[in-house]
Amino acid sequence: GAVVSQHPSRVICKSGTSVKIECRSLDFQATTMFWYRQFPKKSLMLMATSNEGSKATYEQGVEKDKFLINHASLTLSTLTVTSAHPEDSSFYICSAGLAGGGGELFFGEGSRLTVL
């Protein structure tokens, strides 16, 4: 299957700082990537759809100015959590699909964010 890589896998930051998480498709190009958030022992919630070369599409209730998404190339999308707050602590996972892959999605390893 296709490989999606995230970095960093774990990050700890202070309140008020910004943190950037990278999502890369290693062996394929992805015009669309997806960012999910997962709370402890809960399921994944779609935050936004990242579109290469254009603005991201955010789900209802997700703050655009807090979670900045950039998809500058066909293999890289970044999620920046701005002015981080302890309530932003969570597990963030990205995914991407192959063109012509029947809609199958492949997920990164996830990034654990802890805001102190």
Q: Which residues bind another protein (CB under 8 A)?
A: 1, 6, 32, 34, 42-46, 49, 91, 93, 95, 97, 102-110, 112
Closest distance between another protein and the C-beta of residue 55, in Å? 17
> Residues 88, 52, 45, CA angle at the centre, nearest 5°?
35
Nearest-approach distance from CB 16 to another protein, in angstroms: 26
Find the shortest distance in angstroms from Cβ 83 to another protein. 26
DSSP 86: G
Residue that has been written with the tokens 């302890």 in this structure: 86
79 within 8 A of 85, measured Cβ to Cβ: no
